[in-house]
Structure 1
Amino acid sequence: MTTSALSADAPAGSSEPGPGVAARLDGLRRLVQYGAGRLDRDLLDEAGALLDRAGERLRLSGDHTVVTLAGGTGSGKSSLFNAVCGLELSPTGMRRPMTSKAHACVWGLDGAGPLLDWLDVDKRHRYARASALDLRRPDSSLHGLVLLDLPDHDSIQAVHRAEVDRFVTIADLLVWVVDPQKYADAALHRNYIVPFARHAGVTLIVLNQVDRLQPHEIDDCVADLRRLLEAEGLADPRIVTTSTLSEDGVRGFRDVLVDTVAARRARGERLDVDIDKVAERLARERGDAEPPAGVDAARRTELVRSLTDAAGAPAVAEAMESAYELRAADFVGWPVSALISRLRSDPLRRMRLTELREELRNAFTGPIGAQQGDVDAALQGVTDGVTTDLPEPWARAVRAAARSHAGELPEALGASLKDALPAFNQVPRWWWLVKTWQYFLVLVSGLGVLWILLLAGTGTVGADGAGALLDAGLIPYVAILVVCTHGMGALTSAACRNLVALSSSKHGQRMERHMSESIAKVADEKVIEPVAAELDRYARFREEVTTVLP
């Protein structure tokens, strides 16, 4: 009983995999890049190993098909290997283990050396054969076949089992050799058939030693083996019967090898199946819902408000309002009252409020513009609505992106407040006009006082012949002038203070708005943009999965 060769979608003789394999590998490489640090490490390592293995296999000879003969002790795989090769190349026998190292027989040496080096086949166990397979079938050729006889998969030597495990992951065609007595061996089915069930297209089951069965028992044995394989997930298993004792006992198996080598499709199909397996696991990390583009406007507004409060912007604005009013008093206040105030101990003056702008700027040069705990609280919930429909690994990555610059935020917020201060600490022109007017009144008042003193002194000494300006009778009028100038200064100061009080609140609001705009830029740079970048990464991951899936 024989089976058909591997599918030959491409024309016979094509040694290169279809463009779909290369494109899928490129897509898989991008998926690994997108998922780095986000998806399960074992999954990414498996995908990375596949990329390395596939890259090496595609770089090496595409004219050769790597076929492994694997089986348990006593299954006769080494005898089958020798029968196909036509020489006694691999030791045979029933002792355990018989084959301790992989043996390779190559038909066609051009380009086979680097391939065998990559397969890590010992040079002592490499053999070459002529290209002619069967003189009675001149059209048949095994040219391009690399046939490997592996150690027993059930060997008591762990190193032998590791050798089998390594080769079954890199072979183009997997051939499992079983015998009528142990074809249901649990170790074979549990460790290899079930894990590689999806590789049915590049798997061949050889029921060897059928010479031990009666002719009518062969079909029953094959049917039972097929039932067992299908129950374990190997869809439409391909089974070949062989016997190394008869002259034509391996002809069916050799025909499959000839057709497989001629099609030169095993390498690409094996890679396709391996990519399918990894791609389906990666696809499970893709959610069904379309991800949002970023944090919605409402949550962004709430984040900016929370960061503004955390940075103490309202308190700074209030302090600047007070500073505005106090600085205004130096310009629009009545200088005489200010002089009297300076004669008393004034703690506000010791604070040098005229330099409040520089003091506030210096206060935000370090990470004291906001407390870390307040910043952390502000970041709470900013991604709640964003991560609702995301798979957990990506939701976790988005939340991490929102907090990726949390340690930098206090200092960045302080710097933004520092940069916002100078814009609203300028002296309005009308303050200078009022100050000029007030000092003019002080000058008039001072001249009036000197006039009174002069009049009083002149009247005391009883000077005669003084002019009208030195008439002592002018003292009451000059005194009234002095009082009026004081009153006008005081009234001017009171009126201007009212104006300052009205405008200071506007200045405070403008200051707070300006600081809020600066903080919004910090929030965008440190929180919103990283979240958007992570969501974009996830969106590209979702799109890329579709190019890698079969």
Structure 2
Amino acid sequence: MTDVMGRVAALSAALDYGSPWLPPESVKKTRDRMEHVRHRLDLGTEHTVVALVGATGGGKSSLFNAIARMDIAAVGARRPLTTSPMACVWGDLGSQTLLDWLQVPDERRMSRESVLDADDQAALHGLVLLDLPDHDSTEAVHRVEVDRLVRMVDLMIWVVDPQKYADDSLHSGYLQKLTSHDGVMLVVLNQVDKLSAEEVDTCVTDLRRLLDGDGLARVGIVPVSATRGDGIDELRTLLADVVQDRFAVIERIESDLDIAAEEIAGGLAASEPGGGKPVSQDKLTVDLAAAAGVPALLDVLGADYRRRGKEKLAWAPAVWASRIAASRRSGTGAAETQLRAETASLKALASPAQRPAVRIAVDAMLADNSGSLPERWATEMRTLVALAGDPALPPEDAVLPSGAATTATPAGSTGAIAGRELRAAASPGRGRHTPAFGLPVVNGRPSYAAKPDPDGLARVLDSRLTAVDLRFTVPFWWHVVQIGQHLLGGVAVVGLLWLALYGLLQLFGQDLPGTLGSLPLAVTVGAGALIAGVLLRLFSRWWLTNGAGRRRDELRGRLHDTVAEVAAVRVVAPVRSVLARHRETRQVLLGEQSPSAGEPVAQGEQAPGAGPRETTPAENSTEPVAALSN
């Protein structure tokens, strides 16, 4: 029983975690089934409800009387046309609440045990035997009542006769739809007194073939004659074993839980992309940077760095010559001013022509992360990313919280909606907009008030990238080289003037005094300074090239970090939250994660609904199971 309660808790948590993104019809069916399971568990396992289900003329009522060893149900022509079941109870204590739940009218309840029975009926103590209306009745209300009770009883005994055991209304209408409950079904071939022993074997063999074809290989067949008594004692013994071991109640509940789990699993993927971690994050950053024009900006900034460096580190004579030439032209500095203005304007990166590229980059990321998810989960992911991209919305409002957080609801509240409403009420100062925080639900889907801006993410990139500090600080070594160039230029001028003076005096037959009269020294000073300036220029250009690379890497790092931050907050975070919620739902459903703590179960521990189940009295005795499977 502990294991069953654990499975109920796990399935309920999984349903609450993922209900907004599971198919609404599946959610409704699963909630109804879980509600039924809870009611049945609340009623306890002291009584086992066994229903005799069959077609008109199959002998259900005769079999009902034979098992009870009393004429309780009307048979044949005396059988009343009623929409209600007949109940015979062995052991009245506590059965009235169960019968109320089954909606058996008071006048159709019969207590079987009495002081006159002594211990004759003790073996069946705890049995609630129901005689249901005919499932093939021409009265629709009869079929509705059969359908209702078939979903509620613990053990179904399908009563057939040699003429109708192959009826399609039985096999396609009921048996083939109940393959998940093959452990709590039995087929009784009644009226074998009308057949020879060989004909009985033939009917049983053919019936076995039909049941196997229906997917009910585990369902056993018991041939009986309600009128002559053949097989009745064996059937009573089988029912006594089932009642005493109580395995049918647990088996039926576990079958219902299996179906509920299948309903939930139908709205989930087998796994999440990247093991639950968003994939293609690096590609998204690169694509967004390209869409925002970062590579082009880096080219422009690199070219500007090299241009300014070439101006600053130019050979001094060339600088002087260009300044003299520029001074003779009008509009000095106009070209440089225009270039700097154009460079600054390029900081408005995400132009309208580039915004489709931003959307394409995001769509590619979403396709990689949602392609394997069911459509409702994929739609939620796309919706949250669109919301997160809206500059008017705080990005954290477009992120789903942990499933465990949203299910911490007060007593009496059920479902994910109650959890979201509680969370919203706890944060009245924050305008939560996501389905995790109490949005109204329309047709099973959260309703968003406004349509997000499709180009919102591009505008966020505009704002963030424009705010990046791209200011340029002249390196110290540029100043050193510039000073060195001017010093060498000055020395070269001195050397040239020295040579000019030396040549002029030679024309008049005079010499400079002392060392100043040395022509080699004058040539060495003038030419040496010029050559040194050229060499320094070549070295500084090599150094400038390396510096431009480092500058480009630095700027690329700043810009890409900004793009990566925008991508992480506005795209990756919503994607991660949807994948995490899907993973939580799936793992809780599979018993790989505790629904209460929201954490994976440690190795060697048993999660609710997973691993070896607690041994129940029914599991200690396999005889009833073997009897039902014969």
Whether TM exceeds 0.5 here: the answer is yes
- Shift of the 133–150 alpha-carbon distance from structure 1 to 2, 3 Å rule, reads farther
Contact 2:133–2:146, Cα closer than 8 Å, also in 1? yes
Which residue matches 1:423? 469
Determine if contact 1:66/1:146 at 8 Å carries over to the other structure: yes
Partner of 1:406: 386
The equivalent of 1:375 in structure 2 is 358
Q: 1:85 & 1:163 partners in 2: Cα distance?
A: 23
The answer to whether the aligner puts 1:157 opposite 2:139 as a matched pair is yes
Greater Cα shift, 41-50 or 160-169: 41-50
2: distance between equivalents of 1:106 and 1:115? 11
- Change over 3 Å in CA distance of 1:549–1:530 after alignment to 2: farther
Gaps of 5+ in 1: 1-16, 326-340, 434-497
Structure 2 counterparts to residues 63-212 of structure 1, below 5 A: 63-85=46-68, 89-94=72-77, 98-119=81-102, 121-132=103-114, 135=117, 137-138=119-120, 140-212=122-194
CA distance in 2, matches of 1:413, 1:507: 26
**For 1:403 and 1:146, how far apart are their aligned partners in 2?**
52
Instruction: Select the residue among 229, 250, 262 that pairs with 1:268.
Output: 250
- The match for 2:595 is none
Shift of 1:231: 3.7
The answer to whether the aligner puts 1:304 opposite 2:348 as a matched pair is no
The answer for the alignment partner of 2:520 in structure 1 is none
Distance in 1 between the 2:15 and 2:179 partners?
25
How many equivalent pairs are there?
462
Distance (Å, rounded) in 2 between the aligned partners of 1:113 and 1:136: 23
Rg: which structure is higher? 1
Distance 1:95 1:136, change over 3 A: closer
Q: In structure 2, do the counterparts of structure 1 residues 38 and 422 end up closer, same or farther at CA, with 3 Å as the change threshold?
A: closer
Instruction: Assess, with a 3 A threshold, how the Cα gap between structure 1 residues 56 and 89 changes in structure 2: closer, same or farther.
Output: same
State the shift of 1:154 in Å.
0.7
After TM superposition, give the deviation of residue 322 of structure 1 in Å. 11
Partner of 1:147: helix, strand, or coil?
strand
Note the C-alpha offset of 1:202.
Answer: 1.0
- SS of the residue corresponding to residue 365 of structure 2 reads coil
Task: Report if aligned partners of 1:131, 1:141 keep a CA contact under 8 Å in 2.
Answer: no
Taking only the aligned residue pairs, the percentage that are identical comes to 34
> Quick one: which amino acid aligns to residue 522 of structure 1?
V
How well do the aligned residues superpose, as a CA RMSD in angstroms? 5.3
Contact 1:398/1:535, CA 8 A, preserved across alignment:
no
Cα pair 1:313 1:417 within 8 Å, conserved: no
Change (3 A) 1:106 1:323: farther
**Partners of 2:176 and 2:213 in 1: CA distance:** 10
563, 566, 571: which one aligns with 1:527: 571
Partners of 1:82 and 1:88 within 8 A in 2? yes
Inter-partner Cα distance in structure 2 for 1:515 and 1:398: 30
SS in 2 for 1:191: coil
Q: Distance in 1 between matches of 2:475 and 2:129?
A: 96
Alignment of 1:197-346 (within 5 A): 197-214=179-196, 217-246=199-228, 250-277=232-259, 279=261, 287=270, 291-296=274-279, 299-313=280-294
Flag the structure with more relative contact order, 1 or 2, with Cα contacts below 8 A and sequence separation at least 6. Answer: 2
Change in CA separation of 1:317 and 1:309 when aligned onto 2, cut-off 3 Å: same
CA distance in 2, matches of 1:238, 1:133: 34
Give distance in 2, aligned partners of 1:370 and 1:102: 73
Deviations 1:201-227 (A, max 9, x none): 211222223343456644444344334
User: Does the Cα contact within 8 Å between 2:14 and 2:588 map onto a contact in 1?
Assistant: no
Residue 156 and residue 96 in structure 1: after superposition, are their counterparts in 2 closer, same or farther (change >3 A)? Answer: farther
Greater alpha carbon shift after TM alignment, 256-265 vs 539-548: 539-548
Q: Note the 1:385-534 alignment, pairs <5 A.
A: 392-394=372-374, 397=377, 401=381, 404-406=384-386, 408-409=388-389, 410-415=455-460, 417-419=462-464, 421=467, 423-425=469-471, 510=554, 513-534=557-578
CA contact (8 A) 2:272 2:579 kept: no
